[in-house]
Amino acid sequence: MAFCVPVQCPDCHGTNVIKHGKSSNGKQRYRCCNRDCFRVTFSLNLDYPGRDAKTKQKIVEMKLNGNTVREISRVLNISTTTVVKELKKIVKNKM
């Protein structure tokens, strides 16, 4: 399996997507290359995926399933630092 940036068009879910400069607030913009898709450009809200509640939930689930920090960071596409930080927060909250 190729290891590339998992960017998908939010409309056609195609991965035939290219970088298209940055928006005024510094977010990466992308352009869908699918000719049948009406969407031209879009940006992703993935600046801080580690802060997303679903990501936190996944971190906990994966940790409980015996995955290592490195595996979690790779699967969820977040840094190991973020994983460790979130796990520490979770441990603190439970004690």
Which residues sit at the interface with Zn ion, rule CB under 5 A?
9, 11-12, 32, 34, 37, 39
In whole angstroms, the minimum distance from the beta carbon of 13 to Zn ion comes to 7
Q: Who's near 23: CB < 8 A, 6+ residues apart?
A: 29, 43
In whole angstroms, the minimum distance from the beta carbon of 61 to Zn ion comes to 30
In whole angstroms, the minimum distance from the beta carbon of 40 to Zn ion comes to 9
Nearer to Zn ion, 11 or 61 (CB): 11
Nearer to Zn ion, 9 or 78 (CB): 9
Cβ-contact 50, 85 below 8 angstroms: yes
CA distance 68 to 27: 30
Q: Is 89 helix (H, G, I), strand (E, B) or coil?
A: helix
Cβ-contact 47, 27 below 8 angstroms: yes
Nearer to Zn ion, 14 or 49 (CB): 14
